[in-house]
Amino acid sequence: MIYFDAAATTLQKPMSVYPSVLKAMQTNASVARGGYLAAQSAAQTVFSCRQAAAELFDAQTEQVAFTMNATHGLNIAIGTLVNEGDLVVVSGFEHNAVMRPLYAKNAKILVAGEHLFDPENTLEAFDAALKKRPAAAICTHCSNVFGYILPIEKIAELCQSYGVPLIIDASQSAGILPLSLKNTRADFIAMPGHKSLYGPQGTGILLCANGAKPLLYGGTGSNSADALMPDFLPDRLEAGTHNVCGIAGLLAGLRYVKKRSPKAIMEHECRLRTLLAGQMEHVRIFTGNAQSGVLSFVPKDMDCESFASALAQKNIALRAGLHCAPLAHKSAGTFDTGTVRVSFSAFNTRQEVLQFAQICKKLLQKT
pLDDT tens digit string along 57-100? 999 999 999 999 999 999 999 999 999 999 999 999 999 999 99
| pLDDT value, residue 367 | 60
- What are the tens digits of pLDDT across the range 190-205? 999 999 999 999 999 9
The pLDDT of residue 32 is: 82
Residue 232 CB neighbours (<10 A): 11
Mean pLDDT of 152-165: 98
pLDDT band for position 33 (50/70/90)?
A: confident
Rg of the chain over CA atoms, in angstroms?
Answer: 21
CA 278, distance to chain mean position in Å, is 27
pLDDT band at 35 (very low <50, low <70, confident <90, very high): confident
Q: Closest by alpha carbon to 237, among 256, 214, 207?
A: 214
Beta bridge partners of 89: 110, 137
- What percent of the chain has a predicted confidence (pLDDT) above 70? 100
Q: Are 274 and 357 in contact (CB under 8 A)?
A: no
Looking at the DSSP bridge assignments, the partners of residue 185 are none
Compute CA distances 342 → 21, 75, 126, 144, whole Å.
Answer: 28, 27, 29, 10
How confident is the model over 262-289, as a mean pLDDT?
A: 97
Q: What is the dihedral of CA 256, 257, 263, 265, to 10 degrees?
A: 70
Burial class (CB in 10 A: 0-12, 13-18, 19+), 112: buried
Strand order in the sheet with 294-299: 283-286, 294-299, 339-343, 319-321
Q: What is the pLDDT of residues 89-142, one digit of tens each?
A: 999 999 999 999 999 999 999 999 999 999 999 999 999 999 999 999 999 999
0.85 exceeded by pTM: yes
pLDDT of 365 reads 86
Contacts of 40 (CB under 8 A, 6+ apart): none
What's the confidence (pLDDT) of residue 366? 72
Longest dimension (CA), the chain: 70
